[in-house]
Chain A
Amino acid sequence: MPHTLASTDAITEAFRERGYIADRSIATAVFLGLQLGRPLLLEGEAGVGKTELAKVLASSLGTRLIRLQCYEGLDVNTAVYEWNYPRQMLEIRLLEARGQADHATAHDIFGAEFLIKRPLLQALEAGSDGEPPVLLIDEIDRADEEFEAYLLEILSDFQVTVPEIGTIKAERPPRVILTSNRTREVHDALKRRCLYHWIDYPSAAKEFEIVQARVPGAPEQLARAVVAFVHRLREADLTKVPGIAETLDWAAALMALGAAELTPELVDETLGVVLKYEEDIRQVRGETVKSYLAEVAAGG
């Protein structure tokens, strides 16, 4: 059921129903984004739930999620719109074959049916019939500066000009979520138009809630041990510490193996689910795993 999301508590509640445990600062940022009509820029390490937040938001609002995955070289043709040239060519040939080519006008081949709408244009148009969609611009740091500059324009006016057709303006602007992994600094001009929130790794208690919400049926003891172990790993000096996504994968993997508790052998065997760098795995496997497990057992 779509929610009205009229307060931070309503957002927390709606997200929780969908298995997303949001703390109050995230809920506040989302709430303000909706209320002030501002894009929300989410930054955080990989696997802390940035993309997921957009999905949950769309589902909470009962609206569509339109996603634009960014990459270097992303241009207007793939992000906004493109003319379907092959089809236009065919149309010209057809007109010729029917002997109508002489009477044809530009409108015959630059009509809406020849326009391929890419995510940004879809997002602008989708709001005209009902609820505006959630537009997720994922990993904006992967796009290059040229695209960022273009995005600035769209995010301030929510309109696009197609020379052959005219200006297309969103009647009701989409709710925009941008995410970044900080592989580079997003330009200040773009940041200025957005609300900003840094998503940190959650506390152990919150992460435990997340595991329970996302991996239903995981034995409580196992879930607590997994979370405590992952938290210990995050303090260690690793190339890439595990995110929430890894915690969830690990809990699911251990469940699939029918584990009821963490043993050093089990951790060693499944370490590849949590750590993604060979040197990290080598560093942790064996004695370190044992000592961490002992710490975890002592702490919990």
Chain B
Amino acid sequence: MLPSPLDPAIVPSGPREAIDGHRVLARAVGFGRALRRAGLAVDLSSEIDFARALGIVDIGDRELVRAAGAAVFTRRRDDRPVYDRVFDQYWRRRALKPNLDGPGTEHRPEATAADEGTPQDAPLPGDERSDLPEDRQGMPIPTDGEADEDEIAPDTVTISPDAYSRSETIRHRDFDRMTAQELRDAERLVDLLEPKLELRRTRRYELHRHGRRLASRQMFRRNLATGGEVLEWVWRRPVRRPRPLVVLCDISGSMERHSRLLLRFIQALSASSAVKTESFVFGTRLTRVTRLLKDRNRDRALAKVADAVTDWAGGTRIGESFRDFNHKWARRTLRTSGVVIVVSDGWDRGDPRLVELETARLRRNCHRLVWLNPLAGTPGYQPLAAGMRAAFPYVDDFLAAGTVASLERLGEILAGGRGADPRRGSEAAAHVAPSPDAVRTFEPPVRVTREPRDPFAAQPLDGRAAGTQ
């Protein structure tokens, strides 16, 4: 659609005479390209919009140009810091205001028609960092040593960047080189899982012969042909969809042996279109990896995750990570009451009371809280680690994880509750907000029972899960 700038109610204004349209377009496209390099999703139409915007705002006003570009190029809040950074770089060297300091005294060949404005500012091609006011006085600020930062991944949201950075063990895992066998395992798991996912009734309806509600609209419509005599009854029923999944995966040191398989599993889950999956990893901090895992090249996706996460194999702060999730992501990812899967061994360095408080809150925000614990497959395991103990009363399903055999059981758990009461076990506990200062007495956790034949089998605590199908 071609918009109507000729709208009589809106009279364009601004000093435009002096500006060559072709040049403006070239700059807009150049700027768009710079943004794209930095990772924003910029397309040609937004570049054209920006060129048009430059024609109608006062381009002598830097902040106005910045705001105009932000409206056109950014699509989410997280884009904004990246945008601002690129804007500062790009429009510094190529200041748009014509003839600010008199005619240009110097023309670099590589900066085609775009550098008329700030003659003193003639940095080397790689040196684009100096600040505008200083430019004007001919005193470019030296680069501040962050030059490598250009290749940042805007998809990554590190949520609490300053927390615990001193004590954090920063290490990269080489889990992105996974064997073909492991890969197949992860995919097979998801295939097994998909048809079993718990369904949620949506508010949309479809016509169905065995529906329970009258589809009055369609019925009237069809029966108009017979002059309004109701000859045909039409029924409808709600459309059902799998509940969205949110996976919070522990990647701390104690989980090191399991994180490869689990991440592959999460990745395969994200790649499937049947269910919406949001994924986060946490050690000492929470990192959202949903978008990173969307990469079609699976190895590259995992490599990106490895780069994005800085707390590999460090300590664990379950409480803080959960709190970050509850504050910043719960509303955005659990709106339609999803299923939360926590993968962690429950070894936690932080305050168990915080773990308890935040797990309780997490439980109230979701439809069902599943905890996969790699240690739970060990004979005689009891959730005694401080973090696990604190979180335990709020967990709906507590299972072993870490091996393919045990993950296969996850499907059965996720499918549970169809028909039967979906909230089992800890419902009462979850709805009582624990007061942080009350001293809680823990009852000895229920023993995880095992089937004698399958050492890896996951068992729900109350032993009812398998029977609810």
On A, residues with C-beta under 8 Å from B are 2, 4-8, 24-25, 28-29, 31-38, 40, 43, 61, 71-73, 75, 77, 82-83, 85-86, 88-89, 92-93, 96, 101, 109, 131, 141, 144, 146, 156-158, 172-173, 182-185, 188, 191-192, 195-198, 237, 239, 278-279
Contact = CB atoms under 8 A, between A and B. Distances in A.
Contacts of B217: 77, 82, 85
B71 A195 contact: yes
A37 B3 contact: yes
B53 interface: yes
B202 A5 contact: no
A85 B333 CA distance: 39
A83 B77 CA distance: 41
B37 interface: no
A188 B52 CA distance: 22
Nearest to A28: B67
25 contacts: A5-B9, A6-B13, A7-B13, A25-B66, A25-B70, A28-B68, A29-B70, A32-B49, A32-B56, A32-B71, A34-B7, A35-B3, A35-B56, A36-B3, A36-B49, A37-B5, A38-B3, A72-B202, A73-B203, A85-B217, A172-B4, A173-B1, A183-B332, A197-B70, A198-B80
A282 to B, nearest CB: 8
B103 interface: no
Nearest to B203: A73
B220 A88 contact: yes
Contacts of B63: 24-25
Interface residues on B, range: 35 or more
Contact of B228 (A35, A89, A191): A89
B335 A184 contact: yes
Interface of B: 1-5, 7, 9-14, 41, 43, 45-46, 49, 52-53, 56-58, 63-64, 66-68, 70-72, 74-77, 80, 202-205, 216-217, 220-221, 224, 227-228, 323, 326-327, 331-333, 335-336, 433
A6 B12 contact: yes
Given A6-B10, A278-B433, 6 more contacts: A25-B66, A29-B70, A73-B203, A73-B205, A96-B227, A131-B9
Contacts of A31: 56-57
A164 to B, nearest CB: 11
Contacts of B66: 25
Contacts of A141: 335
Contacts of A156: 1
Nearest to A238: B327
A198 B332 contact: no
A223 to B, nearest CB: 27
Contacts of B49: 32, 36, 38, 195
Contacts of B64: 8, 24, 28
A88 B224 contact: yes
Contact of A192 (B45, B57, B228): B45
